[in-house]
A and B are shown apart, each in its own frame.
Chain A
Amino acid sequence: MQVQPLVRIQAADFDVAAETLRLTAGRKDVGALVTFTGLCRDEAGTLDALELEHYPGMAEAELTRIAEEATGRWPLTGLSVIHRFGKIAPGENIVLVVTASAHRRAAFEAADFLMDFLKTRAPFWKKEHLVSGAGGAWVDTRAGDEKDAARWSSS
């Protein structure tokens, strides 16, 4: 009865409302729906765009592995993950996770888990392109990301 997650890697933007509807339309067993959207930030005003590189094939495979781990751990009625690649401007969407369940704790925890593992395990890399035109740097990993992912092995 475990649901088959939807996993997509695409250059185009996604439509959160359409993805939400896909997990709720015509159903009466969804009590809780959580969406997480990750966006490109630029508080300093120096970023022209992020360039998202990925490992085609492995990106889909790894996201599917993480998503299936989530559907195995929590009683979900639906789970979708969409990750964009290519150039993404500040304010634009990068990643979407949607989880649906009868109960809110499962929906929250599964979405949270998915983002933690996506950050540390999905083969995507961000490079900054600056407004100044100067050669941007590859974004470094955040120390907190590994710690966030480690939270789930003790529970």
Chain B
Amino acid sequence: MLAWLRRLWRRDREFVVWLAVLLLLLLVVVIGPSLLPSAYVQSPGERLQGPSGTHLLGTDGYGRDVLARVVEAGRTSLLIALVIAALATVLGSVIGLVSGFYAKSASVLMRAMDALMAFPGIVLSIALVAAIGTGALSEIVALSVVFTPYMARISRSRALHLAGRGYVLAARSAGVSGPRILLTHILPNALPTILVQSLLIFAAALLLDGTLSFLGMGVQPPTPTWGNMIAEARPYLSIAPTFVVAPGLAIVLAVVTLNAISAGLRSIVDPRARALASMFVMRRERRAPRRA
């Protein structure tokens, strides 16, 4: 593990740094609430105070500690986005891999995926949430539906590609059944791609969760999410700007981190991407050639 990390560090410092940031984020979100004041206990007498020693980021409209709420919101938002990413990944990759491997039989599914992709994500999720009601569960359902097609598309093209590889043909000649090939050959080899994509979905879900919560269609207060905190904070933008700025920055940080890790992972998985990243392109022609 340590050796692996060291190797990684030598290969791609930035990636390791982002990994550390993610770990830190998770750590803060997991153990933070037990160190900070309660994110829920209201003290209407201490509403909308600016940053101070006791309340590092001030208090909100109920006199709750904003920092504690940002951390608690991180817990909710990250968890929800994670569950969404997980669901979309599982659903999407099953649909994609199956329809890619049995190329002919499954175009119906992909047509349905196309139809889903014809809605801009936010519009589809608004419609779905409006229909099935607000709350964490509905949001998870709605956003999973939104993101599944993206995963399906990626994993399908991956499966199409893998289905022609020699080892798949060899497995078929060895009498391995279709489902088993999917499980033992296609899935493991598509996994890196799926993982990269699922991290992107994680990040995108975080953003969309922010937007939905902001529009009041996500998780409902008093449970904080970054999005609904910003919505709650809107009226106070001029009085207590930290209240708006903090959760927004948290979203940006989390999304940047996830995207960076996804990109780093991609460059590990796909060496070409790495070659691209480290390419140097145009050279000065009027320079004396380098001699050894």
Q: Do A and B come from one complex?
A: no
